[in-house]
Chains A and B, each alone.
Chain A
Amino acid sequence: MAIRLRSGRDLTAGLVFMAVGGTALWMSSDWPMGTLASMDAGYFPAIVSSLLMLLGAGVAIPALRFDGPPVESFAMRPLLLVTATVVVFAVLLKYAGLVLTIAVMTLLASFAASERRRLLVTLVLGLGLAALCVGLFVFGLGLPIPIWPRW
């Protein structure tokens, strides 16, 4: 008998909780448990992750029986581009410096917006933002951030 998916959204949420709880429980089994009176490193994580699995089941099982909405579609473009923009900062900053990093970030981020601007506008925005950040954070607050690329 095929199980009909009634509430995709809740089922997914429940399965996510169960998977995370299960993994965490499995990992915690490596650590000494101790006793209730003197808990060791593994005790509390084991309780918490078991509880998470239970709650996950509590979300997933009703989702098999009652109708509910499916998982809404993801807006992949803004999600990926925003994430990529942040990752660019993490990867690039130490080598390329703040100015170049911000320029690349604004360029990348501009693809996430629904309406596109001319390349020139984006570049001006990026350079203006870079100048503002260098002035504010590096010169103003004296934060130790590299400005220019390291060769």
Chain B
Amino acid sequence: MDILDNLVLGLTVALSLQNLALCFIGALVGTLIGVLPGLGPTATVAMLLPITFYLPPVGALIMLAGIFYGSQYGGSTTAILVNIPGESSSVVSCLDGHAMAMDGRAGSALAIAALASLFAGVVTTFVIAIAGPALAGVALMFGPAEYVALMVLGLVSATVLTHGSLTKGIAMVVLGILLGNVGTDVNSGQIRYAFGFPQLYDGIDFVPLAMGLFGLTEIVANLEQTQGRGVIASVINRLWPSREDARAAAPAAVRGTVLGILLGVLPGGGSTLASFAAYTLEKRVSSTPEKFGRGAVQGLAAPEAANNAAAQAGFIPMLSLGIPPNAIMALMIGAMTLHGIQPGPLVMTGQPELFWGMIVSMLIGNIILVVLNLPLIGLWVRLLKVPYDLLFPAILVFCCIGTYTLRSSTFDVAMMALFGVVGYVFRKLECEPAPLLLGFVLGPMLEENLQRALLLSQGDLAVFVTRPISGGLLAATVILLVLVLLPTVKRGRSEAFRE
């Protein structure tokens, strides 16, 4: 069977000693940083991106993927033990997870979170293995017009599903596209928006942008919040959940996984939305909703499964279409371009070892995480006690060195400082940086495909509507926008995000 052959190929790649080691290190480092409060997966991946620059492409992506789900996992650990979500997608895990820990069931809570995540990770990996190639097959039929329509749909829905004002979100996307225009125009050789800096002739580099917007801004914001972090050292007695806990958690994990995959594929969906949605769903279907928030096992298992499933399902559009559904996948695309890989449907056929190696390594990485984390929990708790004022200078130094070494350019470090300030200002103006990053990554692709589509149609704009796939995608975009602007849905959306 085809998939089986491919999985075997992936297995040989992922099980090579080097890749196994990189997967392990990625998961370990990711968890290490994910445990630190205030550093979410996006910031973590952005900061560690430069390290992987010196690795072969497959190894680099395997390690980045490891860092990504490691940091996600680390976030849940702190949520359960000390009620501090390491990142936004584990906010819900605080509710029942921490309640369980206070109830003396900390070990059980950690194990359920780990096992639910593992289950979701394994299922999602198989979904990627099946859906990825199918989607890539469809994508091979895409012409430039279809790509334009797809990117428009992706960018619009990414802003619809993230919280905050819709207009501001789209404006941030457009601003990102504009930033992507900086540098030499590939067709005409015209230099655009370089302000006389020769360092900008190749465009703004992705790493200083991402690190400034996410890393530096996050550090300043953390320093701004002065309230102390209360650490509750829960005693961990037994790790395995009781039989009744396990029985209650299993169906919830399955529901969470399905919901997570569905929401993860959607642009802008991502793990935060998935975990919130899964929690709400569990509360609805439960016969004892009053137990939620007081240590209900389902309230922990479902969101944990959902956020992991969503996080990994994001790889489907990223790998098969080259379109990132969220900021982290945009970072992954950035990493691929750094290694000279053009993300898109051709990766699967042209570099099967990359695609399948990465998929299988996710499977292995998920298992490593469980094996790694349960015994190391004591260490993570101790790490949480490192005061932030001793920690952040080190993070700053690492950010600088990371950006600098990419091109041995101090100019890039200065750019990072600039984008740190920009990111902070936008944060104060309630403008999300994630859409900007998506726009920045997709901008050059959008321009190229738009030009090509209109060249082929000899300037006839109707091409976007008359070609069935492209027209369908644009119609979906319009429907989405209309739906969001309807007053009833608008209210529901703000309520959903408040909950």
Contacts and interface: CB of A to CB of B under 8 A. Distances in A.
Interface of A: 9-10, 12-13, 16-17, 20-21, 24, 27-28, 31-32, 35-42, 44-45, 48-49, 51-52, 55-56, 58-59, 71-72, 74-75, 78-79, 82-83, 85-87, 89-91, 93-94, 102, 105-106, 109-110, 112-115, 117, 125-126, 129, 133, 137, 141, 143-145
Contacts of B175: 17, 20, 52
A27 to B, nearest CB: 6
A83 B421 contact: yes
Given A86-B420, A125-B390, A49 B167 contact: no
B196 to A, nearest CB: 12
Interface of B: 54, 165, 167-168, 170-171, 174-175, 177-178, 181, 185, 187-188, 190, 192-193, 216, 219-220, 223-224, 226, 388-390, 392-394, 396-401, 404-405, 408, 410-411, 413-414, 416-417, 420-421, 424-426, 428-431, 443, 447, 450-451, 454-455, 457-459, 461
Contact of A59 (B168, B414, B447): B168
B219 A82 contact: yes
B410 A93 contact: yes
Nearest to A42: B190
B223 A114 contact: yes
A110 to B, nearest CB: 7
A75 B405 contact: no
Given A16-B429, A93-B413, A114-B226, 9 more contacts: A21-B174, A52-B174, A58-B171, A59-B165, A72-B428, A75-B224, A83-B421, A93-B404, A110-B393
B411 A90 contact: yes
A74 B424 contact: yes
A72 B174 CA distance: 24
B216 A91 contact: no
25 contacts: A10-B168, A10-B429, A13-B171, A21-B174, A28-B192, A31-B190, A38-B451, A40-B187, A44-B451, A45-B193, A48-B181, A58-B167, A59-B171, A71-B428, A78-B219, A79-B220, A82-B216, A82-B220, A82-B223, A83-B417, A83-B420, A86-B400, A109-B396, A113-B388, A115-B389
Given A35-B459, A48-B174, A9 B192 contact: no
A114 B230 CA distance: 17
B430 A13 contact: yes
Contacts of B414: 86-87, 90
Given A109-B396, A144-B408, A89 B413 contact: yes
Contacts of A17: 171, 175
